[in-house]
Amino acid sequence: MLSIVDLIKKFQQPGGGELTVLDVPKFEMTRGEQVALIGESGGGKTTLLHLIAGMLTATSGSIRVDNLELTKLSEQGRDRFRAATIGYVFQTFNLLPAFSAIENVKLGMTFGHGGVDGARALDLLERVGLADRAHYRPKQLSVGQQQRVAIARALAGQPKLLLADEPTANVDPASADAVLDLIIESCRQDSIALLMVTHSMDVADRFSRVDRLEDINRIAALHQHPAS
């Protein structure tokens, strides 16, 4: 369902010049597969997730998700693709503060499959154990609860691939297990492929496939010492 070939990503550096962050000859995931991605800080894990989500464009190479070649899409096309195919759980949740939990979940449905459906939004909140908090705003929820709303929102568009960037990093240890269970089990039930970036070996241990960015990115080691 995901196939990356010869992917290069370079960034313009603030001081001029370019920095190559990713050089990935091959990276693949099958439908419903669950993969933990680990690696050194600054190695390019978030950049890889952003490229797969179509939030960034590749410098060269191919990214196919669900048989769609992302690198050939316009910005609008990538927005449509993301809404229809990708769920994204951020480290910092990224809920809209002026909207209630259920409104945030409905926003996740706006451009996805099936359109906006209030009953389904409530079902999703029920699934993450927050049906009784549907009308609370993010600041009226605990941090663990906010991340559970963000998971409900990410699942709301019925994605085929869920990208999760250190989803438990800002959640207390007790809630972290619940958040992790929720993501892993929801993806399993709905056959959603899951790619999760983590720094935690406890989290990685929950996955049968664990990839190190250094093993798939040819320049990861070099990148940590760009001056050398």
Ligand X SMILES: Nc1ncnc2c1ncn2[C@@H]1O[C@H](COP(=O)(O)OP(=O)(O)OP(=O)(O)O)[C@@H](O)[C@H]1O
Applying CB under 6 A, which residues contact ligand X?
11, 19, 21, 39, 41-47
Q: Measured from the CB atom, is 39 or 167 closer to ligand X? A: 39
Q: Catalogue the E-assigned strands of 30-59.
A: 34-38
Tokens 């910005």 locate to 75
For the CB of residue 21, give the shortest distance to ligand X in the complex, in Å: 4
Three-class DSSP category at 128: coil
For the CB of residue 190, give the shortest distance to ligand X in the complex, in Å: 26
Q: Measured from the CB atom, is 91 or 158 closer to ligand X? A: 91
Instruction: Look up residue 17 and give its two tokens.
Output: 């010049």
Q: Measured from the CB atom, is 47 or 175 closer to ligand X? A: 47
For the CB of residue 48, give the shortest distance to ligand X in the complex, in Å: 7
Q: Measured from the CB atom, is 41 or 74 closer to ligand X? A: 41
- Residue in 217, 216, 211, 182 with CA at minimum distance from that of residue 198: 211
End-to-end CA distance of the chain: 37
Contacts of 7 (CB under 8 A, 6+ apart): 22, 23, 24, 27, 51, 58, 60, 61, 62, 63
Strand partners, 68: 65
Q: Measured from the CB atom, is 141 or 162 closer to ligand X? A: 162
Give dist(CA 98, CA 92) in Å, integer. Answer: 16
For the CB of residue 27, give the shortest distance to ligand X in the complex, in Å: 14
Q: Measured from the CB atom, is 25 or 42 closer to ligand X? A: 42
Under 8 Å between Cβ of 191 and 116: no
For the CB of residue 9, give the shortest distance to ligand X in the complex, in Å: 8
For the CB of residue 194, give the shortest distance to ligand X in the complex, in Å: 17
Under 8 Å between Cβ of 22 and 7: yes
